[in-house]
Chains A and B, each alone.
Chain A
């Protein structure tokens, strides 16, 4: 799973540096969250948790929000994605897209709670309408590319006996 580190690193760097200015209506996709949700869906809640914590750490290093909020936020999102996948009766092709949308909103809710817990103000109504809902769309679109790519990488990254091949 170590090879996932550069992907998380690149995602964290990309969303802080390269994407601003070249984005739609001033909204940035949450690339790290997309990776975390994908990995949780593919490998279960334990992997989702670890990838979420590492991805959150990388996001916290580039963010101006109080340190730790993104670690908790993405850790929980990773666990939620993994648990949801285990409990779903039907694992259809739309599940990753729905997971990206729900994961984005869950991440936002946790961000609001984290900001309030650390006594930072966040105009959540404005952010929800003008940032998060557009971000839901962007993340869902990116999921269409990210999930198949990560699934292919996941199959390569797992030993044959481990993957049950």
Chain B
């Protein structure tokens, strides 16, 4: 089955050496990534475009009688109205999205929003992250929050000139400081990803009120995420008598499996940055 090898040992040694430089030298690795993503990002962007089907107009049929011609006029009119209805529905969805976004801006001084498209996902799913089509060239920086009109999606963890990688809040390496929106509770805690697409709210003192269907929003503590952004809804509360804290399973507001358009908050509010002492 095996043919004689084509690569001499020296080539293998050189390959190991180059790989060692890339793996263990952060500067070289960053340069290599920057060059590599300049090649990969446009291709990913092009491939990620989903082309919708375009309606075809057929107008070559000639009718023998006036009645048939009139019938065709009516049919064309129905088609036109149906197309207009579809367009209106699209506008309605867009209008709803923009209203939600406007509401998001009114709830918290979020700074300027940069609209971005998701162009790729982590290839193996080891880390729940997506690649967006904007990067350093558009003022995207590490640790900037990323939201959708439904709520918090994640934060930027890696930036390249024309693309950036966003760690989603559902990843186990993600941690967000949150507060329960209910004025009767206002309990605070930390939300982490579980790995299966859901979130785990931790470090909520047992004395604090925590119920299912409670809404969790960002607290602003930590300085990365602005306060008041919707994170998720409590599904199940877990309490044990022997533990000081209670925890809860939370369903994220953003469906991370179907992300298409996101917004990077370019200037996080300085007010939420913790001050020493």
Contact = CB atoms under 8 A, between A and B. Distances in A.
Interface of A: 1, 12-13, 15-18, 20-21, 26-28, 30, 32, 41-44, 46-47, 49-50, 53-54, 56-65, 67-68, 71-72, 75, 85-86, 91, 95, 111, 115, 120-123, 126-127, 130-131, 151, 154-155, 157-158, 162-164
B33 interface: yes
B3 A154 contact: yes
A53 B20 CA distance: 10
Contacts of A64: 122, 127, 129, 131, 157-158, 165, 167
8 cross-chain pairs, A with B, having the tightest CB-CB distances, nearest first: A64-B129, A68-B23, A123-B195, A61-B36, A44-B5, A16-B123, A16-B120, A15-B123
Contacts of A13: 40, 43-44, 47
Contacts of A56: 19
B205 to A, nearest CB: 24
A46 B2 contact: no
A75 B16 CA distance: 9
B4 interface: yes
Contacts of B5: 43-44, 46-47
B32 A57 contact: yes
Given A62-B122, A95-B1, A123-B195, 14 more contacts: A13-B44, A16-B121, A20-B121, A26-B257, A43-B5, A43-B6, A47-B5, A61-B36, A63-B126, A63-B127, A65-B124, A65-B126, A65-B127, A120-B127
B196 to A, nearest CB: 6
A32 B15 CA distance: 18
Contacts of B40: 12-13, 61-62
A122 B11 CA distance: 34
A60 B24 CA distance: 14
Interface string B114-151: 00000111111111010100000000000000000000
